[in-house]
């Protein structure tokens, strides 16, 4: 019997993407988490304004928080606008939180957001990765592999 394919997340509209994560970290496991937002934050995300380049997630008091993610103030929001870099609660099941907490505490892993997107039902979601940091020699190896793939593709295109 064939092994079932891992479930992919239903991404309708990607708002923010952190492409550098796969270069800086060994991604071990990926989770989908809901995002607890205020009204103007949702509007700013729908406008496509967000940055998760320097953000990370942490487990505090049995809850997971997205720290340092920048969702700028909504342009048409008035005095009820949100704070751009406030910590945002991530919505996960209790078992997932315990698993993440154990990995972060015991194995020294990091929780890094890969992307923020809206799913098919219109809910804001975060693709969260459980990752371990790469050493400098691992990064050099990644660069070598990427360059070789690029050269190989170019040679195949030229030679036919």
Cα angle: 101, vertex 102, 104; to 5 degrees: 65
Enumerate the β-bridge partners of residue 67: 56
DSSP 61: T
82 has pLDDT over 70: yes
**What is the rounded CA–CA span in Å between residue 30 and residue 19?**
14
**Residue at 142 is within a domain:** no
**81: domain CATH number?**
2.40.280.10
2 has pLDDT over 70: no
User: Quick one: what percent of the chain has pLDDT higher than 90?
Assistant: 57
What are the b/e assignments for 89-107, b being 16+ CB within 10 Å?
A: ebbbeeebbeebbebbeee
User: Quick one: what percent of the chain has pLDDT higher than 70?
Assistant: 96
**Residue at 77 is within a domain:** yes
1 has pLDDT over 70: no
> What DSSP element (H or E) covers 43?
helix 39-46
**Residue at 151 is within a domain:** no
Query: What confidence score (pLDDT) does residue 134 get?
Result: 85
**Residue at 149 is within a domain:** no
**Residue at 146 is within a domain:** no
**Residue at 153 is within a domain:** no
Please state the domain count of the chain.
1
57 contacts 156 by C-beta, under 8 angstroms: no
More confident residue, 37 or 78: 37
Structure tokens at 132: 């371990």
pTM: 0.81
**Residue at 1 is within a domain:** no
pLDDT tens for 25-67 read 999 999 999 999 988 889 899 888 899 999 999 999 999 999 9
4 has pLDDT over 80: no
The domain in which residue 24 lies consists of: 13-134
Query: What confidence score (pLDDT) does residue 48 get?
Result: 87
**Residue at 141 is within a domain:** no
Q: Is 57 exposed, middle or buried (0-12, 13-18, 19+ CB in 10 A)?
A: buried
Structure tokens at 59: 């487990």
């Amino acid at each position: 019997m064939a092994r079932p394919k891992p479930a992919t997340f239903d991404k309708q509209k990607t708002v923010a993407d952190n492409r550098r994560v796969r270069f800086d970290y060994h991604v071990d496991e990926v989770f989908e988490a809901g995002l607890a937002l205020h009204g103007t934050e949702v509007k700013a995300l729908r406008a496509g304004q967000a940055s998760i380049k320097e953000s990370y997630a942490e487990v505090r008091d049995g809850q997971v928080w997205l720290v340092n993610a920048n969702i700028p103030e909504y342009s048409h929001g008035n005095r009820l606008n949100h704070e751009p870099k406030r910590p945002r609660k991530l919505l996960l099941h209790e078992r997932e939180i315990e698993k993440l907490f154990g990995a972060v505490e015991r194995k020294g892993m990091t929780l890094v957001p890969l992307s923020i997107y809206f799913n098919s039902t219109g809910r804001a979601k975060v693709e969260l990765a459980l990752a371990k940091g790469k050493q400098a020699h691992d990064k050099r190896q990644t660069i070598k592999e990427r360059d070789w793939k690029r050269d190989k593709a170019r040679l195949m295109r030229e030679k036919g």
